[in-house]
Amino acid sequence: MANLWHELTPGPAEGLSVVYVVVEIPKRSRNKFVYDLKGGFIKLDRVLLSSLHYPGDYGFIPRTLYDDGDPTDVLIFANEPTDSGCIIEARPLGIYRMLDRDLHDDKILAVPATDPLFDSYRELEDIPPHFLEEVAHFFTVYKDLQRVKVTGLGWEGRAVAEAEIERSCARYARHLRTSR
């Protein structure tokens, strides 16, 4: 079975202005589907304990490794939910900084690069401010009933998001070298 974490590239071309996102959870789902990083399949990790749903498609960028030991997380701002396992070509516009159990677990915010509706979305400032509030709120309370403390640290723009993706690509490459 193909393992999309290892076998896909981070994006369709050189540079990180457009990245591949492997969708785990479709928008509006309450199911917490996760990609099994060893097995290369999607499994139901749990159902959100709170009566909340994901505010956008949610997944990860192949060949990245973030500070929490998982690939870099991405939330997609889109109208139409896709499906678990779908690959989206997405344009990163910003990053929401947060701590989950004291580890950095930041979320990249991106728009689908192949939906013309979002052609004019180029910077974080192009996203409706209320959506940024919804996302910040979701990620700071979605684990409340698990008694897991998540601390929101605020939004940063596209340049920071791209720099963090680049850093997570380098971390993945280092990890591969040292684990062989």
Which residues in this chain contact Mg ion in the complex, by CB under 5 A?
Answer: 68, 70, 73, 105
Q: How far is the CB of 14 from Mg ion (least distance, A)?
A: 25
Token pair in block for residue 139: 């990620």
The nearer residue to Mg ion, 20 or 118, going by C-beta atoms, is 20
The nearer residue to Mg ion, 42 or 118, going by C-beta atoms, is 42
148-159 CB burial, b ≥16 within 10 A, e <16: eebebeebbebe
Closest CA to 164 of 148, 176, 153, 179: 153
Q: How far is the CB of 103 from Mg ion (least distance, A)?
A: 8
Q: How far is the CB of 70 from Mg ion (least distance, A)?
A: 4
Closest CA to 18 of 112, 115, 147: 112
The nearer residue to Mg ion, 107 or 118, going by C-beta atoms, is 107
Q: How far is the CB of 139 from Mg ion (least distance, A)?
A: 11
The nearer residue to Mg ion, 57 or 73, going by C-beta atoms, is 73
